[in-house]
Structure 1
Amino acid sequence: MTDPPDLPYPARWEADVVLRDGGTALLRPMRSDDADLLVSFYARVSEQSKYYRFFAPYPELSERDVARFTQVDHHDRVAFILTVGGEMIAVARYDRTGPAEAEAAFLVEDAHQGRGVGSVLLEHLAQAARENGIEKFTAEVLPENTRMAGVFREAGYQVTGGMEDGVVSYALEIEPTAMSLEVMGAREHRAEARSVARLLTPSSVAVVGASRSRDKVGQALVRNLVLGGFTGPVYAVNPTARAVAGVPAYASVLDIPGEIDLAVVAVPADSVRDVVIDCAAKGVHGLLVVSSGFAETGREGRNRQRQLARLARAYGLRVIGPSALGVINTDPELSLNASLSPVVPSRGRVGFFCQSGELGTVILETVARRGLGLSTFVSAGNRADVSGNDLMQYWGDDTETEVVLLYLESIGNPRKFSRVARRLAQSKPVVAVRSGRFTQGVPLGHTVHRTSVPQAAVDAMFRQAGVIQVDTLDAMLDVAQVLAYQPLPAGPDLAIVGNSDSLGMLAADTAAEAGLSVVRQAGALRPDATAEDFERALTDVVQDDAVDSVLAVYVSPLDLDGADVARVIAQVAGESAKPIVVTFLGSQGVPEPLRQYDERGVAVRGSVPSYPSPQAGVRALAKVTAYSQWRSRPRGQIPPVEGIAEERAREIVESVLAARPDGGDIEGAHLDALMRCYGVDIWPAYRVQSVEEAVATAERLEWDVVLKATAPHLRQRPDLADVWRNIDTAAEMHDAWSTMLSTIGEPESAGFVVQKMAAPGVPVVVGCAEDQMFGPIVSFGLAGVATELLGDLSYRIPPLTDVDAAEMVREVRAAPLLFGHHGGEHADVAALEDLLHRVARLAQDVPEVVAAELGPVLAGPDGLTVLGARVQVAPVEPQARMDWYARRLTRL
């Protein structure tokens, strides 16, 4: 082995991580000045753990040991330490033993064993090793060291091992596998769910910054906790008061005699840092920061917000906020209203995440007015730490939550959002509103990466994840009412029952627009229809196998309360396995006569949501129907793709970037070689500078050729002046050349090429791009200016399942052209789907490929012909994909 390069400290490897019990820690590379930390850590480790590490009694480290362990080069010798509150609690290292092999070792302080420390360290150590060209870890473990043995066996990597001389030797192939990624995702899910549970289910709360003035935030928080009936002790922290709103006050969190689970912070922004340190010393589990004065105030505030998040995480704390409205948990065993809202909705089965503190009170009032019960509510404000991703992790395990609502103003980690939401939506519906959807605007307090992804691609990401996306808060609550109280429809077939023909027609028109089919319309009910009339009509359509969902419309011509009609609607709905929604006297929400309760007095399934107009009810049913169909469809598999040469592709891109450090287009032999690495052959094209060269090339190809302009500004012109087909003679080539030059200009700027005519087919374009926020994105559409102008493209985030690829081909509006439209031939759609998988693999494997477009690709009945390709490469930050293979909290 050659001497390792002199590498600087790899700050990109630093990470905030969540441990198994929900606490946080700082993971970072070892530094040469960590000697004192290491010695102090080693002194706290038990003799048994030391024996497990060194296979012999090793009571203390010598100066030579300390120097050896702290001197690392971040290449052949790499070490990570884990710290909480600045104290080291664990260390992991590898030492290279061969060109692609290293020996790994771990040591965890006894007080922190069982917290999942070893598995987190292994993930990050393996990621660093892969960056440095290492493919395998070896490790020796004593048989009685069951914890460490479990870390290796349960990591999801390919592991081999055997016993020799009383020691178990392990060998781990550290290339990420489907199993290792699944294991990592499951561990991340459990840890983050527990970290949020510590915030939403506290047994005690302290309000730091509690005020005696009724017009101050601090007193409102205390008052809402007390008046809300919180079942645990509430403490106030105010250095000048003995009590606040009847609650005992203390000068500091440290002076409170009991344990504190949640600290609600309402002090000036520049005092929050001291509060974090005091809370960490007290053993507080989490912080809710309602204080303002952070990222929404500018650069200084953004720095203060980053420091808040990093400091809290380094001390083991999660943070909701700053500028948060607060959190609510309606569980009667808690009755937690740690928020600034005096309005608390009734108990229900809906979890609500809102980023905006300003809108939070309005949202709660609207939810309460509609009678939609909530399980929990979180307003995260500037979202410095805890985000919607964390809440989805928690709600995925929360048996008290059946529906998830997200009011989003920004998405800090879209890749993770897509992954977490997709898993959650398979069991619980997720409904989202995104502000700034078309303007790409982000509130001042939100720090997110820039993105160049088109809006259609973001929408596709939501659909791919199964998220029900709506445009307004009212539409969100309309959908939530169906999801919370009615079963999912089995299909798109709708029946309309009502005593108003005009409203029935409006409902039918809306159904056609929204993608539902009206199969029954019992509009014969008279305006003065009785409860018995409604009962007969509703029972009839519910029992009809052709009906999947029902809309009932009741309008009283005599200003009656309709109690009898409500009773029969509720009765039929309670016995029906099909969703029933109503327009009941123009009311909105779940009117009392249409409610059904459990033994705790909580409105349950069978309650019937009402809408002020039939259109709103139909649109809500349409959204729910689309979700039901997504949920019931096959999930699909990520198919194996034959003929991939990933390492060779990386070598080609690295060689191009070595010659052109700023990147650019890959051309010529490099382009052909790169695409062959992914099983894609580009139809040969020959650059020509004159008509004589064009004729000579055509003769070599034995004619039947195409003359084409390839300059980017000339491609796919609507007048088709960029291409001349079926050229069979020198005279025809001269004619084509002169005619195209008269339209296009000089050949030097046109980029003329000659190609052999390919078999006919439908021209399509397959592309991919690397985005700073979203990572790789794959696109598909038919070639042509109309597709560009109309945005008729489909998008997905890799990896693609076979279902994803099939849907991409079929969901563009021009897709019928691939399936024999107007007598055309059926394209080889299977070959198209295979090409999508190949491009997705390229995008996923080589992040330096920042943009690629294959097109036009002729999709014929017997296969594909790729007529051209453009691939752009650029250097990317080493940390661009680090969160794919090792757990880490987003740092903004």
Structure 2
Amino acid sequence: MADDEAGPPATLPVAESVPAAGYPLHWEADVVLRDGGTAHVRPIRPEDADALQEFHVGQSQRSTYFRFFAPLERLPDAELERFTRVDHHDRVALVAVSAEDGTERIIAVARFDRTGPTTAEVAFNVSDRHHGRGLGSVLLEHLAAAAQERGVHRFTAEVLPQNGRMLAVFREAGYEVHQRLDDGIVWVSFDVDPTERSLAVMADREHRAEARSVLGLLTPASVLVVTDEAAPDHAAACAVVRHLLQEPPPARTVAGEPETAAGDDAGAVPVVHVVGWPEAPEPARGWPSVTEVPPVDLLVLGVAADRCADVVRRCAHLRPHAVLVLSAGFAETGPDGVTHQRDLVRAAHAIGARVLGPGSYGFVRHGERPVNASLAARAPEPGRLGLLCQSAPMAVGLLTSARRRGLGLSTFVSSGHRADVSGNDLMQFWTEDARTDVVAAYLESIGNPRKFARVARRLAAAKPVVVLTAGSSGHVVPAGHVLRDTRVPRRVLDELLRQSGVIRATSQHHLLDVAQLLVHQPLPTGRRVTVLAGSEPMAALVAEAATSAGLAVTSRRAILAGPAADDVARLDADLAEAYADPACDVVVVAYVPTLGPPHPRVARSLARAAAASGKTTVACIRGLSGVTEELTAVDADGRARTVPAYAAPEDGVAALAAAVRYARWRSADHGRPLSPSGVDRGAARRVVQEALAGAAGASRVVRLDDARTAELLGAYGIEVWPVRTVATPEEARAAADGLGWPVALKSAATTLRHRMDLGAVRLDLSGPAALEEALAQVRRVVEAHGETERRFEVQRMAPPGAACVVRSSEDPRFGPVVSFGLAGDAVDLLDDVSHGVAPLTDVDVAEMVRGVRTAPRLFGYGGLPALDVAALEDVLGRVACLAEDVPELHALELHPVVVGERGAAVLSARVELSEAERVDGRRRALPE
């Protein structure tokens, strides 16, 4: 079980391989490593035998001894056969591979062999040349995910005491590790089911790795620009060269023209110029071949889409950290373009590089080494805002507007089709970036909403995040974006952003309005507003706008009446009095003289008063817009603060209201991850596996019968009240005697089961006579509706209360979406339902219950008794945990859940399963 020293990794020709039957293709994944580089993880194949032997031979004696407890120069043929021919069930092996010189090299191996029904022995071996890159921890995560799929929940290992690297991998994974020393060997064991700590460790490692990979992209010391005069994007590539030379870091940049060397044009890399920085002897120098170009950090492509992947492979020896793709002609053009895009990403990941684009506008990074690798001829001014724009055309308008406002940027990135580097990666980077205080993003699509939610939540806890999406539902699929389908209601994206603390903008204008406020003003301490205006009518209009935006107007004053000397003379005193008001948290100023320009002292006095008070302020002053020198002053800590100026008071108020909501979210308690008692994940996994095994080979949804439904829900502590299906009065009486009186009777027909309004449900039947009469009445209703189902259900009556509905569904893009609402036609017609994307916290669950308009019914509305909301939240929380833990849970419905004064009774449940295809599972992986 080693993670150790020296020798070249094994090689294997890079070629497409057709997986054998039973090969778990979904275990393949590209991963980001600790140093920001990438590797490919996949199950081992029989054809890996030679490569595995080379890997073994290349290891040091120390590493071999740690792995096999004995010197072993070569693997015997029998062992090689056993290691590479696995069944992917009881014997599982994964390899991490990387490409170099047109070959695929094995750089790490991990395996487990089942030793019992739920236990397996695990072993690792990492190439000595790749120690310290985090391969051991990545492979452990992927091996643990595979083990859970196969019903293995505990790993054991035998490790030599000297093998500190391997012991550290186990200890630092976040699992509760047990170990003992016996006969000179350390025996290690741990459960691989995810815990709060193991998930936190995985998220933290993912965060650091992805942040480092983006840092490598944004801070290149050298850049190779590859282009071709015949390529549609040649002009764009040339523009990037010019802009790089305008913002030179202390290194070289390489740019290109068509290669003129003789040979096979189809395989040629069309590049040949290196552009030097000012200290270079000449501004541009030619290279006869790309093979002579020295290593570079960033590769910029402006060549035809069908040639990009080949260019990356031909430049593999340059070992770039990242590839910026300006070219179009990829997924937006159809199936062939999708193939080119995937080939490009595979080629880049194989050499350890990330991909920005295709169709990117480029990026700008300010700092000690400013870089303008974008199509913007004039880079934005330095500032504290990180700006992401997926769309290249939209980037033009956003950058122009930011520049016009005087809004400086720390970073600008256009992710284009975001085939690899996405908003999630950028947010990981900005979380730690000391140069960025606020993040703003225009997103055409969100490919992995679950990951977006947890990454954004982490970032928003430290820095404001403002997001504008294309459309309001998250259902938009722009050309070039390869996305899974989604079936979620349109409001789910709203809920996801709200729970994550993201400020949702309504337009590009609003996006920058909010951003400039958050960059230049302190966060609001409350929602109490003082309105200062040049006239009472103006003050009244601004106060109405503030109230409509959810703010509380506590004072409004007409203190800026005009340019008269006495008005100006008492301005400072009036401002000081307004800002000193203890009932004032934020200030809105509107000064628009109807005749002549504003007095210049007004802006200066306002800036000083706002900075001295530390109270969030916005202004609408005629002639001023955006971030201006006139409205800038130094606060008590010596920091320059600018009151942002808006074209209309309503714009400033809208930005202020967004900042208030964010400040309230940031200061609130967001709760703890749900961890209900009495959960048996192993039992739930067995139910799921047995149910799906019975439908082997079927792609359809499997509906569980009542017994299996009760067993699955019971594993998560959810008790479904028993129901008896009957056909005759005699059977009905026997069922009621067994369940206990009084009882409820309802039709078993699907369309009538809950239709009390149609007479298909009878409640509170206290004796045989009442039951027999109700049975006859319901039978007539069934016949009148032409139903063929003539059976009925008998169930013990629940205590009086409110009927609720709890649902969960596994969405291909959003993952497990949980919903809550009260039962009834009016609720359904008004869509009075709250939604949450698991995993949820206890606070998320509480907010879901209180987030529906009919929630007062649960808290004693209209003189009715208050109900047991805690019991209802417990049921909802357990459903959320089940949905998170079981990606095969296609759909679940608890209808009704009757909440009484004490307890919540689940009277009916429906569960459907299907094969898991969750996009964001419990392993680190780049987008598919």
Q: Deviations over 1:250-283 (max 9, x none)?
A: 35443224x3111111011122122101222112
CA contact (8 A) 1:718 1:785 kept: no
Counterpart in 2 of 1:233?
A: 252
The letter for the 2-side match of 1:205 is: V
Counterpart in 2 of 1:678?
A: 716
* Greater Cα shift, 32-41 or 616-625: 32-41
CA contact (8 A) 2:473 2:493 kept: no
Provide the C-alpha distance between the structure 2 equivalents of 1:310 and 1:370, rounded to a whole number of angstroms: 41
Counterpart in 2 of 1:552?
A: 589
The letter for the 2-side match of 1:224 is: H
Counterpart in 2 of 1:178?
A: 196
Residue 779 (str. 1) matches residue 799 (str. 2)? no
Counterpart in 1 of 2:265?
A: none
Aligned counterparts, 1:859-870, within 5 A: 859-870=899-910
The letter for the 1-side match of 2:603 is: A
Aligned counterparts, 1:480-879, within 5 A: 480-523=515-558, 525-528=560-563, 530-585=567-622, 587-596=624-633, 606-659=641-694, 662-689=700-727, 704-709=742-747, 711-714=749-752, 719=757, 721-727=759-765, 730=769, 734=773, 737-738=776-777, 741=780, 745-746=785-786, 748-749=788-789, 752-871=792-911, 873-877=912-916
Counterpart in 2 of 1:168?
A: 186
Residue 112 (str. 1) matches residue 130 (str. 2)? yes
Q: Deviations over 1:201-230 (max 9, x none)?
A: 111112111759998222111111112444
Provide the C-alpha distance between the structure 2 equivalents of 1:525 and 1:436, rounded to a whole number of angstroms: 41
In structure 1, which of residues 39, 42, 51 is the aligned counterpart of residue 65 of structure 2? 51
Counterpart in 2 of 1:18?
A: 32
The letter for the 2-side match of 1:19 is: L
Provide the C-alpha distance between the structure 1 equivalents of 2:184 and 2:528, rounded to a whole number of angstroms: 68
Aligned counterparts, 1:118-129, within 5 A: 118-129=136-147
Provide the C-alpha distance between the structure 2 equivalents of 1:132 and 1:738, rounded to a whole number of angstroms: 51
SS of 2:315's partner is helix
How far the C-alpha of 1:98 sits from its partner, in A, is 3.7
How far the C-alpha of 1:746 sits from its partner, in A, is 4.1
SS of 2:114's partner is strand
How far the C-alpha of 1:714 sits from its partner, in A, is 3.9
* Greater Cα shift, 386-395 or 469-478: 469-478
Provide the C-alpha distance between the structure 2 equivalents of 1:606 and 1:186, rounded to a whole number of angstroms: 34
Counterpart in 1 of 2:222?
A: 204
SS of 1:475's partner is helix
Aligned counterparts, 1:58-73, within 5 A: 58-73=72-87
Aligned counterparts, 1:142-291, within 5 A: 142-209=160-227, 216-238=235-257, 239-240=259-260, 246-257=283-294, 259-291=295-327
How far the C-alpha of 1:809 sits from its partner, in A, is 1.1
The letter for the 1-side match of 2:329 is: G
CA contact (8 A) 1:346 1:374 kept: yes
* Greater Cα shift, 610-619 or 735-744: 735-744
Q: Deviations over 1:32-55 (max 9, x none)?
A: 111221233234322332233233
* Greater Cα shift, 759-768 or 74-83: 74-83
How far the C-alpha of 1:870 sits from its partner, in A, is 2.3
SS of 2:245's partner is helix
CA contact (8 A) 2:372 2:379 kept: yes
Q: Deviations over 1:586-638 (max 9, x none)?
A: 6431223113589xxxx965111111111111111111111111111113123
Residue 371 (str. 1) matches residue 409 (str. 2)? no
How far the C-alpha of 1:67 sits from its partner, in A, is 3.3
How far the C-alpha of 1:434 sits from its partner, in A, is 0.9
Counterpart in 2 of 1:3?
A: none
Give the alignment's TM-score, normalised by structure 1. Answer: 0.92
How far the C-alpha of 1:143 sits from its partner, in A, is 3.0
How far the C-alpha of 1:761 sits from its partner, in A, is 1.2
SS of 1:158's partner is coil
Residue 300 (str. 1) matches residue 333 (str. 2)? no
Provide the C-alpha distance between the structure 2 equivalents of 1:138 and 1:693, rounded to a whole number of angstroms: 54
Provide the C-alpha distance between the structure 2 equivalents of 1:159 and 1:288, rounded to a whole number of angstroms: 43
Residue 329 (str. 1) matches residue 348 (str. 2)? no
CA contact (8 A) 1:432 1:470 kept: yes
Q: 1:345 to 1:672 in 2, by over 3 A?
A: same
SS of 1:34's partner is helix
Q: Deviations over 1:479-525 (max 9, x none)?
A: 11111111111222111111133332232222222211111112365
In structure 1, which of residues 96, 117, 134 is the aligned counterpart of residue 152 of structure 2? 134
CA contact (8 A) 1:717 1:785 kept: no
Aligned counterparts, 1:417-456, within 5 A: 417-438=452-473, 440-456=475-491
The letter for the 2-side match of 1:415 is: R
The letter for the 1-side match of 2:907 is: L
How far the C-alpha of 1:643 sits from its partner, in A, is 2.6
Give the alignment's TM-score, normalised by structure 2. Answer: 0.89
Aligned sequence identity (%)? 47
CA contact (8 A) 1:436 1:442 kept: no
Counterpart in 2 of 1:9?
A: 23
* Greater Cα shift, 61-70 or 376-385: 61-70
Q: 1:768 to 1:534 in 2, by over 3 A?
A: farther
The letter for the 2-side match of 1:281 is: H
Q: 1:725 to 1:33 in 2, by over 3 A?
A: closer
Q: Deviations over 1:741-788 (max 9, x none)?
A: 459524645864344443221222111111111221211111112221
CA contact (8 A) 1:825 1:860 kept: no
How many residues of Structure 1 are paired with residues of Structure 2 in the alignment?
877
Q: 1:818 to 1:523 in 2, by over 3 A?
A: farther
Residue 30 (str. 1) matches residue 44 (str. 2)? yes
Provide the C-alpha distance between the structure 2 equivalents of 1:885 and 1:139, rounded to a whole number of angstroms: 22
Residue 355 (str. 1) matches residue 373 (str. 2)? no
Provide the C-alpha distance between the structure 2 equivalents of 1:10 and 1:388, rounded to a whole number of angstroms: 29
Provide the C-alpha distance between the structure 1 equivalents of 2:870 and 2:876, rounded to a whole number of angstroms: 10
SS of 1:216's partner is helix
How far the C-alpha of 1:414 sits from its partner, in A, is 1.2
* Greater Cα shift, 787-796 or 441-450: 787-796
Q: 1:759 to 1:171 in 2, by over 3 A?
A: closer
Provide the C-alpha distance between the structure 1 equivalents of 2:850 and 2:364, rounded to a whole number of angstroms: 44
CA contact (8 A) 2:746 2:778 kept: no
CA contact (8 A) 1:236 1:250 kept: no
How far the C-alpha of 1:722 sits from its partner, in A, is 4.2
Provide the C-alpha distance between the structure 1 equivalents of 2:645 and 2:216, rounded to a whole number of angstroms: 36
Provide the C-alpha distance between the structure 1 equivalents of 2:790 and 2:468, rounded to a whole number of angstroms: 46
RMSD: 2.8
